[in-house]
Chains A and B, each alone.
Chain A
Amino acid sequence: MTGRRSFLRILFCFALLSALALFSTAAIAQNGGQLRFCLRAEPKTFDPLLVDDDASLAVRYLTGGVLIRVNRHTQDLEAELAESWKISKDGKQIAFKLRHGLRFSDGSPFAADDVAFTMQRLMDPALHSSTGDAFRSGTGTVTTKVLSADQVVVTFPAAVAGLDRLFDQVAIMSAHSPKKEGAVLGPFMVGEYKAGSSLLLERNPYYWKKDAQGRRLPYLDSIHLDIQANRDVEMLRFKRGELDLINVLDTDYFDRLASSSPQLVHDAGPSLDSDFMWFNQVANAPIPEYRRAWFRSTNFRRAISLAINRDDLSRIVFNGHAQPAVGPVSPANKFWFNSKLKADAHNPQAALALLKADGFHMQNGTLLDKNSNPVEFSIVTNAGSKPRERMSVLIQEDLGKIGIKVNLVPLDFPSLLERISQKFNYEAAMLGFRNVDLDPNGQMNIWLSSAEDHAWNPKQKAPETAWEAEIDKLMREQASSIDPKKRKQSFDRVQEIVYEQAPFIYLVNQNALSAVSGSVSGANPGILSPQTFWNAERLTLNGTARASR
C-alpha cells in the first residue's frame, strides 16, 4: 500500500513539474524573435525632428518616445512619457507632468530638461523642421520652463489649435547623452544600418512599458527592415514567409493575396487618403478665356461632379476597396468629418440641367457653351499611377455621355508639378492627397487663398471669390480657437462650402489595405499610419517563426 502511495506521490509530483515546465515554456513563448517587413525607400534621416518621409516616419515611430500618443485604433490621446498634461485657457501654454524613473536606450535618465532641449531644438528656425512648423502659430519665440525634474511648461507666442495632438510627432531627444539621436525612449533602437539594404532595430532594454502581467515590453527582440521599393518582390517574399507585414497594399496585390490566403489580408475600411480632380482657375494661366470661364463657374464644376460615377470608380478601379469621397475629410476621421454631407450620386440629367443654366447646350451629341464652343478639356495626372490612369479613363467616358470630350495626359511627376504649381499650363488635374494628420490645421496650406498649395488658384493677394474669403475666415477662426466644438463648427462649414463650390472634385477615399503573416499575433491593422505596426511593442511571433530567424 505504502509503495503504491509513494508511487502515486511521485507521479503527482512529476505531473506537477511537467505542468509547471509547460506553463513556463508557454510564458517564454510570448517573448523574442525578429519581425521582418519592408521600407519602400531609404530613411532620409534618423534625426527625429527632421523627419519628412515615410521611411523615416516609420523608424521614428518605432524608436521615438513621445509625451502624448494618438492611439491609432481609437484616435484618442494617450499619456506616454507625460503622466498628464494641461493646456492653459488661452491655448498658448501646455504643462507636462512626466513619468518618474524612465531611461533612454543608453541608460541615461529622462527628465524635464530633455523635453526643454527637444522643444528648443525643434523650434529653432535654423533647423527647418516641418514638425516644428506645425507649432508655429504666430511670430515670437517659444519658451520652455523646467519647473522640476518631472514638470515642464512650454509657452507659445499665440494659441495653437489642437496643441496636444501635435506632440504625437515629437520624439523626445536626450539633452545629455553623447549618442544624441541614438539615445531613444521608444520600444526599439537602431542597431545596424546598411545603406540601401536594411535596417536592424533592436529591443530597447530600458523601455518603460510593461504588460498586464508586469513583463517588460516589447516582446520582440528585434525588427529587421529591408529597404525594398519593388512591390512585386515584397509580395513574393511575404508569400514565401520571409516577411511578416505589408503595411500598405495596392488593390491588385490585395485581391491576389486574398484569393489564396484570405486570412492574411486586412481591409480596415476608408483611409484618410483621397483622390480628387480640380480645374485651373488661375487668372493669368495660358488657357483660352472661354475655358477659364467654364472652370470658374460653380455650375460647371458641380455638373462635372454629378456626371462622375463614383460608385463605378470604387467598384471597378479599386475592386470595391474604396468609398465615394465627399470632401476634404474622410469619414475615417471620426471627429472632423461632417457627417451631414453625402457624396454626389451619379446623375447626368442633373448635371445637364446645371450646365443648361449656364447657357451650355447639346448639339449632335456634343456639348457647346453659350458661344457655341465645343466643351473639351484635358486632364493631367501622374503617369505610372494605375488607379489614377484608370479613374481618368472612366471619367472620360462618364463625361463623354454628357457631350464633353476629355483628353487624358499622363505626365512624369516633375513635369506635372511644374505645370500645376509654376506655369499653370493645364486645364484639369487629378492627384491624391495622403493625409496623415487628423487635425484640419494640417490643411491650412491648402485652404487659405494666399497659400501656395491652394491648387486651383494659388497665392491670391486677396480672395478672388466670396466663398474663398469665407473659407479663409473660417480656417483662421478654427486655427485660433482652442474650443474643439467651435473649431468643429468652423471646419464643418468649410467642408460644406467645398462641397457646394467644388473647387476640388473629390472622387474616392481608398481603403487602408494591409497584410499580416499568420506567424504574427497581436496585430490590429487600422487606418492611421503606421497601419500594421502601430502597437509594435505588443506584437509577438509564433514559435516556428522565431525558430526560423
Chain B
Amino acid sequence: MKHERGMKVARTLACVIVVAVCALSLGANWLAPEGYAKQFREAPGAPPSHQHLLGTDELGRDRFARILYGTRISLLLAPAAALISTALAALVGGLAGYLGGIWLKLARGFTDLFLSLPWLFLLITVRALLPLNVSPLVSVLITFLILGLLGWAASARVLSTSADSLRNSDFVLQARASGLHGPRLFLIHVLPNLKPVLYAQFWISIPVFILSEANLGVLGLGVAEPLPSWGSLLRELEGLISFREEPWRLVPLFLLIVVLTSFQTLLSSEEVTA
C-alpha cells in the first residue's frame, strides 16, 4: 500500500516535471526573447544574474536560453531517432525471433555483421556527400535520422531473443491452435508481449543518441553552431575540473538525468496499467 502511494507521488512528480520542461522549452521565445545565438560579448563566462539566470557560456551566450532551445531540439529529435531505431529493431529482431529457424540465424548474423562494421567511416562519407551550405536545422535532422537508421542492431539482438522465447510459449501455441497465424498472430500476441523490452530499448536509446549527437560534432555532423542541443551543451562540460566553482554549468546534465528518469517513471506506470 505504502509502495503504491509512493509510486503514485513519483508518477505525479514525473508528470509535472515532463510537462514543465516541455512547456518551458515551448515557451522559449517568450522566456528568452534574446534567443540562443545572441552574444553578450561584454560578459563571456558570466555567473548567474538577473539578466542571465544560468550565466553565459564562453562566447557570452545566455545559458538559460540555450538550454530551453536545446531542450526543444533534443526532446523532439532524440526520441524520434529512438522511435526509428526501435521500430527497425522490432521489425528485424522481433520478426526473426517469431519466425525462428533459418530466419533467426540469418537475422542474428546480419545484426552481428552490422554491429561489427566501422560506421564511423560511413558517417565521414555522409559528411563528405552533404553540401557544405546546409542550414543548422537540416544538419540536425540528418544527424538524428542517421542515428535512428544505424542504432537498431543492438536492440534487434535483444528483441530476437525475447521473440524467440515467446514463439514457443503456451499462449502462442494456444493462439496457433485457435487458427491464428502469420502477421495477425505476430501483431496481436507476440508484439504486445515484446512491449516492455521495446520500451526499455527505446529509453536506453535516447541518452545514447543525445551523447552520440554530441560526439558527431567532431565529424562535422551533429548540431551546427549556433543551434544548441543537449549534446552540444554537454560537450561544454569537457575539461570542467571543479564543480564547486561553477555548479550552474551542470544544469544540462542534471536536466538530462531528471527528464529521462521522469519519462521512465511514467513509462513504468503505463506498464503497470497495461
Q: Which A residues are closer than 8 A to B by beta carbons?
A: 232, 252, 256, 312, 316-317, 376-378, 380, 383-384, 389-390, 392-394, 396-397, 407-412, 415, 425-427
Contact of A316 among B60, B135, B225 (CB under 8 A): B60
Q: Are B132 and A397 in contact (CB under 8 A)?
A: no
A397 touching B220, Cβ below 8 Å = no
B128-167 near A? 1/0 per residue, CB < 8 Å: 1000111110000000000000000000000000000000
Write out the residue numbers on chain B whose beta carbons fall within 8 Å of the beta carbon of A378. 132-133
- B241 in the interface, Cβ–Cβ < 8 Å? yes
Please tell me if the beta carbons of A407 and B217 are within 8 angstroms of each other in the complex: no
Question: Which B residues are within 8 Å of any A CB, using their own CB?
Answer: 37, 39, 41, 44, 58-60, 124, 127-128, 132-136, 217-220, 224-226, 239, 241
Complex contact A407–B44 (CB within 8 A) = no
The distance in angstroms between the C-alpha atoms of A384 and B132, with both chains bound, is 18
Given A316-B58, A383-B217, A407-B133: A396 in contact with B226 (beta carbons within 8 A): yes
Alpha-carbon separation in the docked complex, A396 to B226 (Å): 9
Min distance, Cβ B216 to any Cβ of chain A, angstroms: 10
* A408 near B224: Cβ-Cβ < 8 Å: yes
Tell which of B59, B60, B124, B241 touches A415, judged by Cβ atoms closer than 8 Å: B124
Please indicate the chain A residues that have their CB under 8 angstroms from the CB of B39 in the complex: 393-394, 397
List the B side residues contacting A377 at CB < 8 Å: 133
| B134→A383 contact, CB < 8 A | no
Closest to B123 in A: A412
CA distance A415 to B37 in the complex (A): 28
User: Closest approach, in angstroms, between the C-beta of A240 and any C-beta of chain B?
Assistant: 13
Enumerate 9 A-B pairs (CB-CB under 8 Å) in ascending A order: A312-B41, A380-B220, A383-B220, A392-B225, A396-B226, A412-B219, A415-B124, A415-B220, A426-B132
Interface centre among A383, A408, A409, A415 (most CB of B within 10 A): A409
Inter-chain contact A316/B41, CB cutoff 8 Å: yes
For residue A376, which residues in chain B have a CB less than 8 angstroms away from its CB?
A: 133
Contacts of B219 in A (CB 8 A): 383, 411-412
Contacts of B218 in A (CB 8 A): 383-384, 410, 412
Q: Which residue of B lies closest to A377 (CB)?
A: B133
Q: Which residues of A sit under 8 angstroms from B127, Cβ to Cβ?
A: 411, 415
Q: Would you give the shortest CB distance from A364 to chain B, in whole angstroms?
A: 18
Tell me, in angstroms, the Cα distance from A185 to B136 when the chains sit together.
57
In the complex, A376 Cα to B128 Cα: how many Å? 20
Please, which residue of chain A has its CB at the minimum distance from the CB of B39? A397
Chain A residues within an 8 Å CB radius of B136: 407
**Which residue in A317, A411, A427 is a CB contact (below 8 Å) of B220?**
A411
* Chain A minimum-CB-distance residue to B241: A256
Judge whether B133 and A410 touch: CB under 8 Å.
no
Q: Check if B225 sits within 8 Å of A396, measured CB to CB.
A: yes
Q: Does B226 contact A407, Cβ atoms closer than 8 Å? A: no
The residues of B that contact A412 with a CB separation of less than 8 Å are: 124, 218-220
For residue B224, which residues in chain A have a CB less than 8 angstroms away from its CB? 407-409
Pick the contact of B239 from A252, A384, A397, A410 — CB < 8 Å? A252
> Which residues on the B side are within 8 Å of A232 (C-beta)?
239, 241
Closest partner residue, chain A, to B58 (CB atom) = A390
A316 to B46 Cα, complex, angstroms: 12
Q: Please, which residues of chain A bring their CB within 8 A of the CB of B44?
A: 316
With contacts A232-B239, A316-B59, A376-B133 known, is A393 near B225, CB below 8 A?
Answer: yes
Contact, CB under 8 Å: B135 / A407: yes
| CB atoms of B226 and A393 under 8 A apart | yes
CB neighbours (8 Å) of B226 from chain A are: 393, 396-397
CB distance from A348 to the nearest CB of B (A): 14
- A390: chain B residues at CB < 8 Å are 58-59
